[in-house]
Amino acid sequence: MRSKPKLLWIDAVSCNGCSHSFFNIDLSFLDDFELLYHPLLPSGDFKIQSSDILIVEGAIKSNFLRLGFDLNELISKLFFKAKTVIALGTCAVYGGIFGEGLVFNKTSKGKFFKCKDKVINIPGCPAHPEWLFYVLNMLKENKKIVLDELNRPVEIFSYTSHMGCTRNEYFEWKVDAKRFGEKEGCLFYYFGCQGPFTHSSCNKILWNEVNSKPRAGTPCFGCTEPLFPKENLFQTETFMGIPANIPLGVSKRAYLTLSGIAKSLTNERLTKRLIKCENEDKQKDN
Amino acid sequence: MREKKKLEIMHTALKLFAKKGFFNTTIADIAKEMGMSVGNMYNYFPSKESLAKELLLYTARIFGDEIKKINEMDISTKEKIKKIVELYFKKAKEEPELVDYFMRVYLSNKEIFSNGCEGMLCVSPFVTEIMIFFEEGVRKKELKNQDFFAAFGLFMGYIGGLAFLNRENILGKSLDEYIEPVSENIYNALKA
C-alpha cells in the first residue's frame, strides 16, 4: 500500500475563514492523508518537519509571531521542507486584507516568487472548499494540475464567476436589478457585481451546491482577484456612467457597441417583472 | 463598384433632401438626378426608408471613424474637445447636407427609423466613440464624473445648435471663429 501524503496546514495572518469554508465538505476524505498539523482540527503537536503538501492559509507579515517563531521564518522553513505548497485563500495568494502573499504581493512579486514552481495558488475569500478538495485529490492521485500564469489551476480559474450566473439573460439585454435581494435583473450596472472580470467557478459549481452571491441577489465582490478588497463593493464604479471595469477579453469599444445595441433593442419580456410579488402594489401604496 | 454607386446615390439623396425636404423627395426624383431608371434604383435601395437608414449609418460611421482617430491621439482632453468641435464644424461647412440630414430628418422624424434603427442602433459608431472620449476624460481625471447624457447633451446639443444657426445664416461670424470659444465653454462646463 502506498503511504498517505503528509499534509501540514499552517495558519499565517488569517481569519481561519478558509479552514471553516473547507469544513463544509465531508472531511472523511482527509483519512487518505496523514494530517501532521492543523490549527483547528485534531492533529499532532506542531513541529518543523518535512511534508508532501504544505497548506498556507493567510498572509505573511514581518514581526508576527506564530507557534513560537517569527512567521516569515516559520513559513520559510516549512516551505523548503515541503514538496508542494498550496497558498490557500486570497491572503496567502495576494496578501488580501492582512499582509503579503507567498508568490505575489497584490500585483507585484512576493517573497517566494523565485520558488513559485512548487506553489499552487487557490485564491478566494474564502477559497471554495471544492477547489481545495480538487487540488488535494489530484495531488493524492499524483495527477498533473495545469496552472495558469498566476499559478492557479486552470480547471477552476479559467472561468469567470459570471459564467453560470442565473442573471446572464439580464446582463445580455442590459436590464438592471432595481433592488438588492431581488431574483431579477443584473447586478453589474449599478450594484457593483464584479462577476464578468473575476476568475472563479462560483456560479458553475455553487456554494454548498445550492447558491452563489449573485444568484441570491448580492454582487460578486471579486474576492479571488489580486486587489481584493476594493472599496464600495455594492456600487459599480463608473466613469461618466460607463462601467470602469468591463468583461474580460473584449475591448472597451467592442463592449460599448454591443451593450449599446442590446440596450436599444429593448427586451420587453425582461424589462417587466417576470414574477410579480403578491403584495407589491399594496407595499407601493403604503 | 456597387458600393461606389450606393455612395453616389446617398450623396445625391442628401442634396435633394436638403433642397426639397425628405418627404417631398421621391425615389423617382433621386433616380432622375442620378440619370438612372427607378427600377435600377431599387436594386440599390429597396425603399426610401432603407436609404434613410443607410444614410444615417453612413453619417454615424464617418463621425465615428474621425472621433476614433481623435480618441487615439496622445493629447489632453481639452485638446480633444477642440478637435471634435473642429471636426463637426468642418463637416457642417463642407457637407452641410449631412448635418441637415441628421438634425432635420433623423432627429425630427424618428418614426421613419423605428424599424431597424431603434434607440442608438444606427448611430452606434458615433455614440460609442463619444462614450470612450468621456470615459477616458474622467479616467484621466480631466473631466467631472457625471451622468453620461447630461454631458452628451451639453456637448452635442451645443455644437449641433451652432451648426443649425449657421445653416440658417443667423450667426454673424463664420463657424470657424466659434471653434475656440465654443471649445473653451464646453471644457469649462465639463472639466473636473
**Rounded-to-integer distance, Cα A216 and Cα A182, Å:** 8
Per-residue pLDDT of chain B (192 residues; tens, 9 = 90+): 788 999 999 999 999 988 888 889 999 999 999 999 999 999 999 988 889 899 889 989 999 999 999 999 999 999 999 999 999 999 999 988 888 888 878 877 777 787 778 888 888 999 999 999 999 999 999 999 999 999 999 999 999 999 989 988 999 899 999 999 999 999 999 999
Confidence of residue A279 (pLDDT cuts 50, 70, 90): low
Confidence of residue A282 (pLDDT cuts 50, 70, 90): low
Q: How do beta strands A65-66 and A34-37 pair?
A: unpaired
Beta bridge partners of residue A99, listed in sequence order:
none
Q: How many percent of chain A have pLDDT more than 90? A: 86
And the C-alpha cell for B26?
Answer: 421621391
Confidence of residue A183 (pLDDT cuts 50, 70, 90): confident
Mean pLDDT of A35-50: 95
Residue A200 forms part of a structural domain: yes
Q: Are residues A191 and A135 in the same domain?
A: no
A266/B contact by beta carbon, under 8 A: yes
Among A25-39, A90-104, A256-270, which stretch is predicted with the lowest mean pLDDT?
A256-270
Tell me the nearest-neighbour CA distance from A245 into chain B, angstroms. Answer: 11
Q: B141 to chain A: nearest residue by CA?
A: A239
Confidence of residue A179 (pLDDT cuts 50, 70, 90): confident
Mean pLDDT of A192-206: 97
Q: Are residues A149 and A174 in the same domain?
A: no
Q: Find, among B145, B137, B157, B151, the residue nearest to B78 by Cα.
A: B137
The residue type found at B127 is: V
Give the per-residue pLDDT at A119: 98
Q: 3-state SS string over B31-45?
A: HHHHCCCHHHHHHHC
Q: Chain A 181-240, CB below 8 Å of chain B: which residues?
A: 238-240
Sorted by sequence, the CB contacts under 8 Å of residue A42 that are 6+ apart come out as none
Continuous H helices in A98-194: 129-140, 154-157, 168-172
Q: How many percent of chain A have pLDDT more than 70? A: 96
Q: Are residues A109 and A122 in the same domain?
A: yes
Give the per-residue pLDDT at B112: 78
Q: Are residues A144 and A17 in the same domain?
A: yes
Residue A1 forms part of a structural domain: no
A265/B contact by beta carbon, under 8 A: yes
A277/B contact by beta carbon, under 8 A: no
Give the per-residue pLDDT at A280: 63
- Which residues on chain A are in Cβ contact (under 8 Å) with B145? 238-240
And the C-alpha cell for B88?
Answer: 463637426
Residue A144 has pLDDT above 70, yes or no: yes
Sorted by sequence, the CB contacts under 8 Å of residue B1 that are 6+ apart come out as none
Q: Are residues A123 and A44 in the same domain?
A: yes
Mean pLDDT of A174-190: 91
**Rounded-to-integer distance, Cα A175 and Cα A27, Å:** 42
Give the per-residue pLDDT at A185: 95
Q: Are residues A224 and A168 in the same domain?
A: yes
Interface test with A, best of B71, B114, B128 (most A CBs within 10 A): B128
Q: Are residues A258 and A121 in the same domain?
A: no
Q: Tell the burial category of A150 from Cβ atoms under 10 Å away from its Cβ (0-12, 13-18, 19+).
A: middle
Q: Which of A134, A155, A176 is the last residue of a domain?
A: A155
Q: Which of A101, A121, A155 is the last residue of a domain?
A: A155
Domains detected in chain B: 1-46 (1.10.10.60), 48-190 (1.10.357.10)
Tell me the nearest-neighbour CA distance from A224 into chain B, angstroms. Answer: 24
Give the per-residue pLDDT at B99: 82
Among A159-168, A215-224, A264-273, B181-190, which stretch is predicted with the lowest mean pLDDT?
A264-273
Tell me the nearest-neighbour CA distance from B192 into chain A, angstroms. Answer: 12
Residue A75 forms part of a structural domain: yes
Q: Chain B 90-119, CB below 8 Å of chain A: which residues?
A: 118-119
Range of the domain at A268: 159-274
CA A47, distance to chain mean position in Å, is 30
**Rounded-to-integer distance, Cα B86 and Cα B59, Å:** 17
Give the per-residue pLDDT at B19: 85
CATH code of the domain in which A143 resides: 3.40.50.700
Mean pLDDT of A147-160: 97
Residue A34 forms part of a structural domain: yes
Residue A285 has pLDDT above 80, yes or no: no
Q: Are residues A191 and A230 in the same domain?
A: yes
Q: Which of A128, A155, A182 is the last residue of a domain?
A: A155
Residue A284 has pLDDT above 70, yes or no: no
Q: Find, among A8, A200, A16, the residue nearest to A91 by Cα.
A: A16
Respond yes or no on whether the N-terminal peptide bond of residue A126 is cis (omega within 30° of 0).
yes
Cell match 460607463: residue? A242
User: Taking CB atoms and an 8 Å limit, are A239 and B139 in contact across chains?
Assistant: yes
**Rounded-to-integer distance, Cα B182 and Cα B131, Å:** 20
User: Taking CB atoms and an 8 Å limit, are B118 and A260 in contact across chains?
Assistant: no
Q: CB of B43 within 8 A of CB of B6?
A: no
> Helix, strand, or coil here: A11?
strand
Give the per-residue pLDDT at A263: 86
Q: Are residues A146 and A167 in the same domain?
A: no
Which residue did the predictor score with more confidence, A37 or A278? A37
Q: Are residues A164 and A229 in the same domain?
A: yes
And the C-alpha cell for B159?
Answer: 455644437
Give the per-residue pLDDT at B100: 83
Q: What is the number of domains present in chain A? A: 2
CATH code of the domain in which A206 resides: 4.10.480.10
Q: Are residues A117 and A148 in the same domain?
A: yes
Q: Are residues A186 and A150 in the same domain?
A: no
Q: CB of A90 within 8 A of CB of A54?
A: no
**Rounded-to-integer distance, Cα B66 and Cα B124, Å:** 14
Q: A265 to chain B: nearest residue by CA?
A: B118
Which of B120, B127, B151 lies nearest to residue A240, judging by beta carbons? B151
